[in-house]
Amino acid sequence: MAAEALHIRSAVDRNQRILLARRPSGLPAPEDFATDTTAIPTPGPGQFLARTIYLSLDPYYCDLMQDPAGSLLPGDLMPGETVSQILESRHPDYRPGEYVLTRNGWQQYALSSGQGVRRLDPAVAPISTALGVLGIPGLAGYAGIVYIGTPRPGETVVVSAATGPVGCTAGQVARLVGARPVGIAGTDEKCAYAVEELGYADCINYKRPDFAAELRRACPDGIDVYFDNVGGEILATVLACLAPKARIVLCGTMDSYRSVSPLPGPTLRPLISARATMTGLVVDDYLDRLPVLVRVVGAWIQSGQFRYREDVTDGLENAPAAFCRLMRGENFGKALVRVGPEHLGTPATASRTGQGGR
Amino acid sequence: MAAEALHIRSAVDRNQRILLARRPSGLPAPEDFATDTTAIPTPGPGQFLARTIYLSLDPYYCDLMQDPAGSLLPGDLMPGETVSQILESRHPDYRPGEYVLTRNGWQQYALSSGQGVRRLDPAVAPISTALGVLGIPGLAGYAGIVYIGTPRPGETVVVSAATGPVGCTAGQVARLVGARPVGIAGTDEKCAYAVEELGYADCINYKRPDFAAELRRACPDGIDVYFDNVGGEILATVLACLAPKARIVLCGTMDSYRSVSPLPGPTLRPLISARATMTGLVVDDYLDRLPVLVRVVGAWIQSGQFRYREDVTDGLENAPAAFCRLMRGENFGKALVRVGPEHLGTPATASRTGQGGR
């Protein structure tokens, strides 16, 4: 079959890409990335071409970049989840103009066979949420609270990285099932936002010298559930405040990215005295529950009970700096790069007819 | 009422006791203990006097000795569980001659009001087992496997300190419920005993330089359950070999006694990737299950399917050296001090009539 197409690219357009230049030792730096351009590929039978709108920046890319086994080699395209729009399709199930969740990686255009692709309906929620609270990060927060932490009404649920897409989902789900969420974040501004916008009962800045005392004050009955996004010193401080039979969800270890060799963990004796349980969460185990997340949290978003924040950087060329900022914890909300506009039509090359094709 | 009595003590007998002399920094040394003698006390109404037969040596005493909050102060009697025989009784429920589990501490004689006392039947099992496999250590091993580790038939269950009273119970219960136990111990002699006598499928000496490789070889399908008695480096090595959805029972942290300040724990990233669960076990939570242990493991002992080993030191005066040996991991089997003979009668002061009084 012939390709259907949105007529939006000129013959001179090229595909800008960002590659791994070298393996970082510790936190990544802009020099660890390189840029190139290639021709925009043409879809073969069963494929479609999509343009990247939003590129998701996620800490786990750092694992791949640092992996000594070579998951990612210098010269490789940086991988990543993206929200894209289909431009040309020779795939029977996808039409030009449709919005899809793809893994285009750090580039402007990519082909897809449709595998692992999820169609997005802009009427349900803004398409960017498919990379955040209604996507994998939201699913991690939701599954960690609902399936592992299982807070009872009134129990104290502490969430680190409280304002990010994982943490804000964990904290708000905890609140909406009747628990008392207490956040941990790295700036006073984030803490204020957590309480005022996200509905945390309290939020403690872990960079303050009295962090341990403040956390204890905010959790007078001890911590029943801890959703851990960071590991390290913060985890050690939380362990000292556990309530009996506490549940700890180990979701991320931001702390560990600072060093290529594994950092030691906290002393585990408080885990024994509290008879606590610590469980590792890998979000892949819950992918079949994504529709539940979209239905439950989607409704809360529409009713105004659930909020989220995005930290959007414009331009693919700025993705390396934005990623380094994320890894330093300087983002505020879900880190996204806007690679292209949500709606085509303003540029002279765009065709309104094509848009109507969806 | 008048005291009934076994006429076994002469007027000149004194009560030998061992006290904490000073708080140890790290592992205890014999100089941390002191000895004194006092008069043998006389039971008042509702009390009985018991002579100590076996004194249990348990690593957790070290917590009390080191506790900066002063659970135990210099000059205090060293506390400890004991198997004793009642000599004189003004308690309505206890008769002279009866064997009881008591908390006499590190001394030859003590009064009791009967609180927390358990009567022992020498016909069920040797009375010393009330301090080991049929007592608190056995209960820890049993509860950790049956209620937390919950191995399925064929699953690999790794047990550290495999030949001690906790570990030998955990390992043999695992075997008897159909799992495949693999031990970790500190000498080749202990490893051989674990396999030949206790029925472990394999046992690895953690002091060998190729420990990690040997453990991996012994657990080709990964470790489904880990019963941890030690923490530290051994725990870190086990975490690197976890099977998906592994369960880790944190029971003891022998390793932590080496230092007064808390040691860091292992890196927790393998816990996440294995989706593993780590749970702290405090045996006090399972005291109501002690009769289950006595019935189940008692039957296995009688049928010859379950074995145990005791490391008995004679003479209360040798308790400090024996305790230091235990804390260095140099004991082989449940560490006990024989403070007095099981059966009175050989000394001229003993009365057979009294013995018959039970």
Mean pLDDT of B142-159: 97
Cα B95 to Cα B278: distance, rounded to the nearest angstrom:
45
Count Cβ atoms below 10 Å from residue A243 Cβ, excluding itself: 16
ipTM score? 0.79
Chain A residue nearest residue B268, CA to CA? A265
Partner-chain contact B256 A267, CB within 8 Å: yes
Looking at CA atoms only, how far is residue A249 from chain B in angstroms?
Answer: 9
Interface test with A, best of B150, B272, B284 (most A CBs within 10 A): B272
Partner-chain contact B268 A278, CB within 8 Å: yes
Q: Is residue A262 scored above 80 in pLDDT?
A: no
> Chain B contacts of A285, Cβ < 8 Å?
275
Residue written as token pair 């851990």: A228
- Model confidence at B352, in pLDDT bands (50, 70, 90)? very low
pLDDT of residue A350: 37
pLDDT of residue B241: 97
Mean pLDDT of A46-60: 96
Q: Is residue B5 scored above 90 in pLDDT?
A: no
pLDDT of residue A264: 78
Tell me the per-residue pLDDT of B49-68, one tens digit each, with 9 for 90 and over: 999 999 999 988 888 898 88
Looking at CA atoms only, how far is residue B162 from chain A in angstroms?
Answer: 20
**Arithmetic mean of pLDDT over chain A:** 91
Share of chain B above pLDDT 70, in %: 90
Residue B109 or residue A253, greater confidence: B109
Mean pLDDT of A1-27: 78
pLDDT of residue B79: 96
pLDDT of residue A293: 96
Q: Is residue A61 scored above 60 in pLDDT?
A: yes
CA B208 to chain CA mean position, Å: 26
pLDDT of residue B71: 83
Cα B54 to Cα B57: distance, rounded to the nearest angstrom:
10
Cα B231 to Cα B243: distance, rounded to the nearest angstrom:
19
- Model confidence at B70, in pLDDT bands (50, 70, 90)? confident
pLDDT of residue A124: 85
Q: Are A172 and A307 in contact (CB under 8 A)?
A: yes
Region of B192 (left: φ > 0; alpha: ψ -120 to 50; beta: rest) is alpha
Q: Coil, strand or helix: which one is B178?
A: coil
Partner-chain contact B272 A263, CB within 8 Å: no
Q: How far is CA B346 from CA A25, A36, B107, B123, B352, in A?
A: 74, 95, 21, 21, 10
Residues 6+ apart with CB under 8 A from B145: B151, B157, B170, B173, B174, B177, B225, B227, B249
Paired with A86 in beta bridges are A50
- Model confidence at A357, in pLDDT bands (50, 70, 90)? very low
Chain B residue nearest residue A263, CA to CA? B267
Which residue in the set B250, B263, B276 is minimally distant from A280, CB to CB? B276
Q: Is residue A351 scored above 80 in pLDDT?
A: no
Comparing C-alpha atoms, which of B294, B289, B333, B300 is closest to residue B143?
B289
Mean pLDDT of A142-154: 97
> Chain B contacts of A282, Cβ < 8 Å?
272-273, 275
Residue B252 or residue B212, greater confidence: B212
Which residue in the set B250, B269, B279 is minimally distant from A256, CB to CB? B269
**Helical ranges in B85-218 per DSSP H:** 136-143, 165-176, 188-196, 211-218
Q: What domains appear along chain B, each with residue ranges and CATH number? A: 4-131+308-356 (3.90.180.10), 136-302 (3.40.50.720)
Q: Coil, strand or helix: which one is B115?
A: coil
Q: Coil, strand or helix: which one is B249?
A: strand
Comparing C-alpha atoms, which of A138, A172, A187 is closest to residue A289?
A138
Chain B residue nearest residue A280, CA to CA? B272
Looking at CA atoms only, how far is residue A14 from chain B in angstroms?
Answer: 39
pLDDT of residue A227: 98
pLDDT of residue A256: 60
Structure tokens at A43: 């879809």
Residue B88 or residue A1, greater confidence: B88
Residues 6+ apart with CB under 8 A from A59: A252, A254, A257, A326, A327
- Model confidence at B292, in pLDDT bands (50, 70, 90)? very high
Structure tokens at B298: 């008692």
Mean pLDDT of A17-40: 94
pLDDT of residue B322: 97
Tell me the per-residue pLDDT of B199-215, one tens digit each, with 9 for 90 and over: 999 999 999 999 999 99
Paired with A54 in beta bridges are A83, A338
Q: Is residue B43 scored above 90 in pLDDT?
A: yes
Comparing C-alpha atoms, which of A133, A127, A135 is closest to residue A342?
A127
pLDDT of residue B124: 85
Q: Is residue B35 scored above 80 in pLDDT?
A: yes
**Helical ranges in chain A per DSSP H:** 61-66, 136-143, 165-176, 188-196, 211-218, 232-239, 269-273, 290-302, 319-327, 352-356
Question: What angle do the packed helices A290-302 and A136-143 form, to 10 degrees?
Answer: 90
- Model confidence at A70, in pLDDT bands (50, 70, 90)? confident
Share of chain A above pLDDT 70, in %: 90
Share of chain A above pLDDT 90, in %: 80
**Arithmetic mean of pLDDT over chain B:** 91
